[in-house]
Amino acid sequence: MSYLVLARKWRPRRFAELVGQEHVVRALTNALETGRVHHAFLFTGTRGVGKTTIARIFAKSLNCERGTSSDPCGECETCLAIDAGRYIDLLEIDAASNTGVDNVRELIENAQYMPSRGKYKVYLIDEVHMLSKPAFNALLKTLEEPPGHVKFLFATTDPEKLLVTVLSRCLQFNLKRLDEAQIHGQIVKILGAEGIEADDDAVAQLARAADGSLRDGLSLLDQAIAYAGGRLDGVTVAAMLGTVDRSRVQALLAALADADGERLLDEAAQLAEFSPDWASILDAFAHALHRIQVKQLVPSVDVGSDAIDVERLAAQLRPELVQLWYQMALNGRRDLGHAPSPRSGFEMTLLRMLAFRPDAAAQLAAPRPQPAAAAQAVPQSSQARTDAAARARAAMAEVVPAPPPPAPASAPAEILPAPKPRVADVVPASNAYASAGSALLVTDSEHWLELVAGCGLRGPAKLLAENAGFVGHADGVLRLSLASEQEHLKSPSLVLQLCDAVGRQLGGEVQVRFEIGQPRGETANARNARERDARQAGAESGFAADPGIQRLVQQHGAQIVPDSIRPLGAN
């Protein structure tokens, strides 16, 4: 007996079996149940989302021998014949191979005759946008006023190519791409029914590779079953798809986050041994960066867990840098075809990301000690302004020529950051805190910020500490305030980590209690943002004041790309 591919074997035969497209099913069901069935329907959408499947189910609903309804019996001769593709009153026409006006005239002539067996004669025209303009014009009159026994069902992946006069005569339904969860669920269901074992990673890779098309997903599943010859696992499916293990992407991201260029290129060299699809690696890279950004900006959303250490990378990288890297990954994928080789194009994309880490660029060029104060711009004299300009020249900036004619420009006014507020002198820890029994006592907000900086917390626990404001400390209870939008950070496990870290610093057990509301005083996060803004403003003003930059602007009409300047040491 010949093998029936999964996409055909598991093609839905009733509306209830469809995956997704609820908005279309609801409209068609209501039309069938109320008897208000239009004479022409247009189903649009990308490949493999159910356009022709829905059209066939609709034709079966119209002609079922047990009566027109939204739930055809599936057992009568008409239903069985439509499922088998041999029903005489369902005429399926491929417009890609029947594009001419003669084909349409033959269709119009046949439409005048009554159906042979069913109640309606149904014309299902696939890829209808391929019909020629004369063919469309010949069809218009019949499409507008067809015989009562005729229904037109059109399907297309490119509705933009249809004439407006055709669109106006049809009820149009746009079928959506299926999401990964819908495809994942259907693959799991089919594997269970077929008695084939598969791990979740293998199914997840297939659902992702399907790219919104269930038919593509089932074709890939057929291929994976043939390739594996047994149980499906993540490694086997990855090899078939030409993708790489997520741990490899994690290694690349970790090297970039640590600004380790040597390790970064070493990871790329190890990847090259597998002859991978470099474009798919950049896709996986962009997908990981998307999850990291979601964790940073909308931490309440679950981004899943796998080999990508989203928590650590989200805490380590600046959100702006993640956005920049994401754009570079997309551009790098687009430019792979123009590179001398796909591997060199991939490596150049990684190096471009590394180049936008000023600290990494400095290390690769010529490592040398830099004073901690080099990243802070607080010019108060002509010498200080000269130093700020020199630092700004080393900052990352992108200068592009403006279109002719050059626009006149003058040197912008120098904007200097406000001097950093005075912080209490650093003194030994025993003097920084007043004694309170066996443990030291945090006395004010400044001491709390010093404590946060030195307690060694990482990841989400560090975020909790940095967003907390100091309220008071007495009788072994440290009271902190937390903004309501940050309340999600106050999980039991993170509070416990905070208690342990603070207790080690203070030399005794500490209980931490939170007040939800506007934090009192300045939080570590707010201070870091203020100081970062001051450094950024200093770098921008110094860069704009540089004579060389001013000469480019004034004489050549160059423009400074907004947000392209970064102080030394910034992520």
Give the pLDDT confidence of 94-135 residue by residue, as tens digits: 887 777 788 788 888 888 889 888 889 999 998 888 888 888
CA–CA dist 109, 150 (Å, integer) = 12
Q: Which two tokens stand for residue 97?
A: 């191979």
Does this chain's domain 180-241 share its CATH topology with 429-522? no
Please state, for a pLDDT cut of 70, what percent of the chain lies above it.
Answer: 84
Q: What is the pLDDT of residue 131?
A: 86
Higher-confidence residue of 273 and 305: namely 273
Q: What is the pLDDT of residue 570?
A: 60
According to DSSP, the β-strands at 121-126 and 434-436 are unpaired
- Give 16's Cβ-side CA count (13 Å radius): 6
Architecture of domain 429-522: 2-Layer Sandwich (3.30)
Region 232-261: what's the mean pLDDT? Answer: 84
Per-residue pLDDT tens for 274-302? 788 898 889 889 999 999 999 999 988 88
Residue found by looking up tokens 């992520």 in the block: 571
Residue 99 sits at φ, ψ, to 5 deg, of -90, -15
Asked if the model's pLDDT at residue 154 lies above 70, the reply is yes
Asked if the model's pLDDT at residue 221 lies above 90, the reply is yes
Higher-confidence residue of 533 and 191: namely 191
Angle at 459 between CA 434 and CA 256, to 5 degrees: 130
Residue 92 sits at φ, ψ, to 5 deg, of -95, 125
Contacts of 469 (CB under 8 A, 6+ apart): 445, 448, 480, 481, 482, 519, 520, 521, 522, 523
Confidence at 424, pLDDT banded by 50, 70, 90:
very low
Residue found by looking up tokens 């991978």 in the block: 276
Asked if the model's pLDDT at residue 415 lies above 50, the reply is no
> 246-363, which class in CATH?
mainly alpha
> 6-174, which class in CATH?
alpha beta
Asked if the model's pLDDT at residue 418 lies above 70, the reply is no
* Largest Cα span, the chain: 101
Region 469-482: what's the mean pLDDT? Answer: 87
Asked if the model's pLDDT at residue 219 lies above 90, the reply is yes
CA–CA dist 85, 101 (Å, integer) = 26
How does DSSP assign 345-364, residue by residue? Answer: HHHHHHHHHHHT-HHHHHHH
Whats the size of the chain, residue-wise? Answer: 571
Could you give the C-alpha distances from 226 to 229, 237, 256, 309, in angstroms and in order?
Answer: 5, 11, 38, 33
Q: What is the pLDDT of residue 522?
A: 83
Q: What is the pLDDT of residue 400?
A: 37
How does DSSP assign 64-101, residue by residue? Answer: -TT-S-SS--S-SHHHHHHHHT--TTEEEEETTT--SH
Q: Return the DSSP state at 566.
A: B
Domain 180-241 fold is Helicase, Ruva Protein; domain 3 (1.10.8)
Query: Closest Cα partner for 245 from 287, 205, 217?
Result: 205
Confidence at 442, pLDDT banded by 50, 70, 90:
confident
CA–CA dist 82, 61 (Å, integer) = 10
Q: What is the pLDDT of residue 358?
A: 53
Region 400-429: what's the mean pLDDT? Answer: 37
Q: Which two tokens stand for residue 537?
A: 């403003």
Asked if the model's pLDDT at residue 359 lies above 80, the reply is no
- Domain spans of the chain, in order of start: 6-174, 180-241, 246-363, 429-522, 531-571
Q: What is the pLDDT of residue 296?
A: 92
Q: How many CB atoms lie within 10 A of CB 431?
A: 8
Region 442-455: what's the mean pLDDT? Answer: 85
Query: Closest Cα partner for 350 from 271, 277, 265, 247?
Result: 265
Q: What is the pLDDT of residue 439?
A: 57
- Give 358's Cβ-side CA count (13 Å radius): 20
Residue found by looking up tokens 């990494």 in the block: 360
Per-residue pLDDT tens for 374-385? 333 333 443 443
Q: How many CB atoms lie within 10 A of CB 461?
A: 22
